[in-house]
Amino acid sequence: MSIEDTTGQGVTITQSGQQGAFGGELLTINFGPHHPSTHGVLRLIVDLDGEKVKRVKPVIGYLHTGIEKQMEALRWQQGVVCTDRHDYLSPPINNLAYALAVERLMGVEVPPRAQALRVIMSELTRLSSHLVWLGTSGIELGAMSVLMYCFRERDTIMDMNEEISGFRMHTSYIRPGGVMADATPRFFDLLAKFLREMPGHIDEYEDLLTMNPIWRARTIGIGRLAPEVAKVVGASGPMIRGSGIAWDLRKVMPYSGYENYDFEVATNDGCDCYARYLVRIQEMRESVKILAQAVDRLPDGPVNVDDRKMLPPPREELETSMEAVIHHFKLFTEGYSVPPGDVYVAVESGRGENGCYISSDGTHKPRRVKFRSASFVNLQALERMALDHMVADLVAIIGTADTVLGDVDR
């Protein structure tokens, strides 16, 4: 028997004919892709026994933009703009994965100041990504006011993005060979003010949620992800750390000088939605710590590699040097070529391991670029977390998995 009924809310109900535990039939429903709590366009095919979730099958691809294919048609330095756009909540971290991969293939290392600026931008991005997560998760579970607080601070981070790169979201600030430009004095003023205020703001979020009985009731014991399961499905980021495994690429496989900073890997043994919330809150505090250290110890010097074959010459040289003009012309008509070979570089984004695999055939465009996105892999754990929970808990579970659909579908 199959009855199809569109409820007018984008939900199609089919009665599958299977028997549930209480004698009723299992209902198969579409959860999304236009459901507001699915963070974009995630579609789940859910089997329900009454209110209990019996099966979750994610159907993805609704935000597939072909970014990997597009990058094959762009020159190496142009590809950066695509990396901004797949995980749209952490553009500089994706820039960094791509830039590090290209640099590894070319065998160049960026100067210390560029490395520190990259760390600063990565940590600011992690903060802004966690703030969006916290605000939207709050709304989904009925804590409406958290979003206003979170977006207030996120906006100051956007202001800093604008100051340093000219763009609020898709900064393209970190590029192969260094960064776009050195940070301005005003950027450091904004950052210093932000660092003074942020610990107090994180306390505010905690005041709103950590001991809030409704928040605790909706998250404690919900969406259990056992450590061994987290490992099997390849979960990373706060998902695996919320299951008590201290796995953070900034610690275990440091890049861009992260080994020089003193910070803790936030973990929690709770394995549930509340544990993942606490991990993210702790990570925000650690990010503030890293930022303070990075600003304190920011080395002087250039912010780009001194390689005219890879980066354009300074503007003033163009007026006096013929060679500079030739380099400039070659770079913007043909681009540079990267030696044949392939490389995989993984960085820790707000969601986990965001890696970039590049295969080069020695030409001025990549042969293949692949993004290993944390959201895509973390989504695999969804069914195991959601089984036997209520539909309303499914919303909390999707929320704390913190998937960005642009990152899942690329």
Partner 1 sequence: MIAEELITDKGVSAGDEWITVAAPRLREALAALKEDGYRLLVFLSCVDHLADSSREWPARFELLYELRDMEKLRDLRVRAFVDGDPPQIDSVHGHPALTRILMPDDWVGHPLRRDYPVGGEPVEFSEEHETWLTPPTEA
Residues contributing to the site for partner 1 (CB under 8 A): 60-61, 64, 66, 68-70, 72-73, 104-105, 107, 231, 234, 247, 252-253, 340-344, 346, 353, 355, 357, 359-363, 367-368, 370, 372, 409-410
Residue 70 or 210 with smaller CB distance to partner 1: 70
325 φ, ψ (degrees, to nearest 5): -65, -40
In sequence order, what are the residues at sequence separation of 6 or more whose Cβ sits closer than 8 angstroms to the Cβ of residue 64?
409, 410
**Residue 46 or 164: which CB sits closer to partner 1?**
46
Contact 88, 406 (CB under 8 A): yes
Minimal distance in Å, beta carbon 184 to partner 1? 34
- C-beta of 25 vs 342, nearer to partner 1: 342
Rounded-to-10 torsion of CA 178, 181, 185, 189 = -70
C-beta of 289 vs 370, nearer to partner 1 = 370
Q: Least separation, in Å, of the C-beta of 102 and partner 1?
A: 10
Which CB sits closer to partner 1, 202 or 369?
Answer: 369
Q: Toward partner 1, which CB reaches closer, 104 or 285?
A: 104
Helices 146-165, 112-140: axis angle to 10 degrees equals 160
As a whole number of angstroms, the longest Cα–Cα distance in the chain is 85
* Contacts of residue 195, Cβ cutoff 8 Å, sequence gap at least 6: 288, 291, 292, 295
Closest approach of partner 1 to the CB of residue 82, in Å = 12
Tell the smallest beta-carbon distance from residue 369 to partner 1 (Å). Answer: 10
Least separation in angstroms between residue 402's CB and partner 1 is 19
Question: Closest approach of Cβ 42 to partner 1, in Å?
Answer: 13
* Minimum distance, C-beta of residue 405 to partner 1, in the bound complex (Å): 11
Indicate the residue among 104 and 384 with the shorter CB distance to partner 1: 104
Name which of 214 and 252 has its Cβ closer to partner 1.
Answer: 252
Q: Residue 362 CB, nearest distance to partner 1 (Å)?
A: 5
The residue among 201 and 410 lying less far from partner 1, judged by its C-beta, is 410
Q: Kindly state the smallest distance separating residue 44's Cβ from partner 1, in Å.
A: 15
Do 94 and 79 contact (CB within 8 A), yes or no? no
Distance CA 396, CA 211 (A): 17
> Of 234 and 244, which has the nearer Cβ to partner 1?
234
Give the nearest distance from C-beta 261 to partner 1 in angstroms: 19
Q: Which is nearer to partner 1, 215 or 247 (CB)?
A: 247
- What is the closest distance, in whole angstroms, from the C-beta atom of residue 254 to partner 1 in the complex? 11
Q: Using alpha carbons, select from 7, 11, 19 the residue that is nearest to residue 46.
A: 11
